[in-house]
Amino acid sequence: MVSLGFVKDARQLPLITPRVCLRRAAITHGQGSSTLSTWTHRRKRQSELRWDVPASLIASGNWAEPLAETVFRLNWTSWILCTESIKETCSASVTESLSAWGRGFWPSYTADAVVYIEVGDSMREDVYACVREWQKAYSHVTFQSAFDIDLQVKQERERWQNASTKERAAILWNRIRERF
């Protein structure tokens, strides 16, 4: 079962959460190629899989299945999908790009994983429209509000802004206690 969630950007998750991005390849033929990069930041390992999509395949979506197989073989239990990179690679709207990506990707990707989708500041509704489409088409793909980190952060910020001084002190105390 693939559980989907939302993040504004990768900073809302631990540094160790790998990221999947697309890029228009310099070559025009083939199924696409992958580059797995890893580095250390603040003593934590970070990973990113970049999939280079040949220009001749962008419209057809034939590159998404090999991408799904590659991500599946990496055996990541959670990862971040870079929505902006899909939009830029496909040169289309968020909805069109993600819909096309999903039609090629989800039939081949059946791992037990949490996939966080970057929604930025303004793409949430467009991305959610694609998520609803995916849920209808693929029974193994479902949105889980427990993984909607973007909404949780917004709600926490709103609670903080509306809290009294006494309530803010209690919130801070609970945060400190949770960390130790």
Domain locations in the chain as residue ranges: 2-148
Residue 168 has pLDDT above 80, yes or no: no
pLDDT in tens, 97-153: 899 899 989 999 999 999 999 999 889 999 999 999 999 999 999 999 999 988 888
CATH of domain 2-148: 3.40.220
Question: Cβ atoms within 10 A of the Cβ of 50, count?
Answer: 16
Give CA separation, 95 vs 6, 8, 37, in Å: 15, 17, 28
The neighbouring-strand residues paired with 24 are 53
Residue 62 has pLDDT above 90, yes or no: no
pLDDT at residue 31, as a whole number: 64
Q: How far apart are CA 75 and CA 71, in angstroms?
A: 7
Is residue 22 within 8 A of residue 61, CB to CB? The reply is no
Average pLDDT, the chain: 85
The neighbouring-strand residues paired with 50 are 21, 35
Three-class secondary structure of residue 136 per DSSP:
helix
pTM for this entry: 0.82
Residue 60 has pLDDT above 70, yes or no: no
